[in-house]
Structure 1
Amino acid sequence: MSNAMWTRGVEWLAAAASDPRACKRGWDQGEGVALLEAGRYWDLVSVPDRLGLLTLDLLWRPSLPVPGPTLVDTAAHRVGFFLPPDPDSRWIGAGLRHASSGAWVAVPPPYRPSRFLEWVIPPDGSGALHAPATLELALRQANGTLAVLEPVSRPEGFAGPPLP
Structure 2
Amino acid sequence: MSTLARVPPHVLGGRWLAGVTSRPGQIQGHWRCGLPAPVQVSCRFDVVMVVGAALTRAVLDELNGSGQVIGPVLYDHDAETSSWLVPVRPGAAWQMPSTVLMTAPADGREPPLVSLPAPGVGRVGALEWLVQPDGSGTLTRHSDLAVALRRARPALKISSPRSQTCPAPARRPDPDPNRSVRRAR
Q: TM-score range by the shorter chain?
A: 0.7 to 0.9
Q: For 1:106, what is the secondary structure of its paired residue?
A: strand
Q: In the alignment, which residue of structure 2 is the partner of 1:114?
A: 124
- In the aligned structure 2, how far is the partner of 1:60 from the partner of 1:77? 21
5+ residue gaps, structure 1, are 152-164
Q: Which runs of 4+ in 1 moved over 3 A?
A: 148-151
Question: 1:13 pairs with 17, 41, 59, which one?
Answer: 17
* Matched positions, count: 148
Using the size of structure 2 for normalisation, the TM-score is 0.73
Distance change >3 Å, CA 81–CA 148, structure 1 → 2: closer
Superposed, which structure 2 residues align to 1:1-164 within 5 Å? 3-29=7-33, 31-49=34-52, 50-61=54-65, 63-101=66-104, 102-112=111-121, 113-147=123-157
- In the aligned structure 2, how far is the partner of 1:22 from the partner of 1:86? 26
- In the aligned structure 2, how far is the partner of 1:106 from the partner of 1:148? 28
5+ residue gaps, structure 2, are 1-5, 105-110, 166-185
Please tell me whether Structure 1 or Structure 2 has the larger radius of gyration of its CA atoms: 1
Residue type of the alignment partner of 1:22: Q
- In the aligned structure 2, how far is the partner of 1:144 from the partner of 1:90? 23
8 A Cα contact 2:86 2:139, kept in partner: yes
Shift of 1:79: 0.9
8 A Cα contact 1:72 1:80, kept in partner: yes
Q: Once the two structures are superposed, what CA deviation does each residue of 1:27-63 show, in whole Å capped at 9, x if it has no partner?
A: 012x5101101011001101112212210111112x5
- In the aligned structure 2, how far is the partner of 1:115 from the partner of 1:129? 24
8 A Cα contact 1:67 1:130, kept in partner: yes
Identity across aligned pairs (percent)? Answer: 29
